[in-house]
Amino acid sequence: MTERLAIEDLTVRYGGVSAVTGLTLTVEPATCTALLGANGAGKTSTLRGITALEPAQGRVLLGEQDVSSWSASRRARTGIGHVLEGRHVFPGLTVADNLRVAAGRAKAAPIVDPLELLPELVPHLDRRAGGLSGGQQQMLAIARAVAAAPRAILLDEPTNGLSPKLVDRIIEIVALLRDAGFAVLLVEQRLEVAQGLDADVVVLRHGVAEHRGRGSDGDLADVLHHAYLS
């Protein structure tokens, strides 16, 4: 069962510096929202605040359940899947064992079979994850998140460092997750990813939502240019 993901007045601070200030957004099931903005705009901090990897103020709701006071591990077990920036996999384990570890933490069967979603991994099930290419590791990171049976999925820059061909494949995978019913919250630097998904878009600048629109909006490139330079 997928769920709506909502945050209300989310604020994340590092010491006396506010990385995210009063951010409110809702991601409905079977939709994708993309957080865009320059480095340091608060995109990754938003995801880490939602999953309690960083202390945050405000409310986080998964469906009707308020998880704001819950630990990171409890939020993950309850169904907030988080694909971290940097392709976090267990390099010493095989691909198959990476998936088994993730599935072992799940409370239910996954909504989508990770190997049906990512058949590219099937020939590599017996390989150690550390020996995979960057693109394969990114696919494994997504597959691990899916194997854990999430009810909503957060992805932090899944196309970072990938070739144009692999970027297109990641867009396809995210679209499949959305179409399977997941609420998908995506952090990206690449405008073409939001455009390819025709995602709902929130442009962050200095931790504040400066613009909300769609990936298909004709003025989005200009909005981003202003956000990056100002």
The token duo for 160 is 């970072």
Which residue from 199, 178, 180, 175 is spatially nearest to 188, judged by alpha carbons? 199
- Quote the domain boundaries for residue 74: 5-229
Residue 34: predicted pLDDT: 98
CA quadruple 160, 162, 164, 168: dihedral positive or negative?
negative
Residue 9, SS3 per DSSP: strand
What is the C-alpha separation between 53 and 177, in angstroms, rounded? Answer: 23
Which residue from 77, 73, 17 is spatially nearest to 45, judged by alpha carbons? 17
Q: Which helix (H) or strand (E) holds 216?
A: none
Task: Look at strands 200-205 and 31-36 and give their pairing.
Answer: parallel
**What's the predicted TM-score (pTM) here?**
0.94
Do 117 and 74 touch, CB atoms closer than 8 A? no
Q: Which residue type is seen at 213?
A: G
The token duo for 224 is 């981003």
Residue identified by tokens 């064992």 is 97
- Which residues are within 8 A (CB) of 97 and not within 5 positions of it... i.e. 6 or more apart? 90
- What total of structural domains would you count in the chain? 1
Residue 3: predicted pLDDT: 95
The token duo for 98 is 């990476």
Spans of the chain below 70 pLDDT:
230
Residue 225: predicted pLDDT: 85
The domain that holds 216 is classified in CATH as 3.40.50.300
SS (HEC) of 151-180: CEEEEECCCCCCCHHHHHHHHHHHHHHHHC
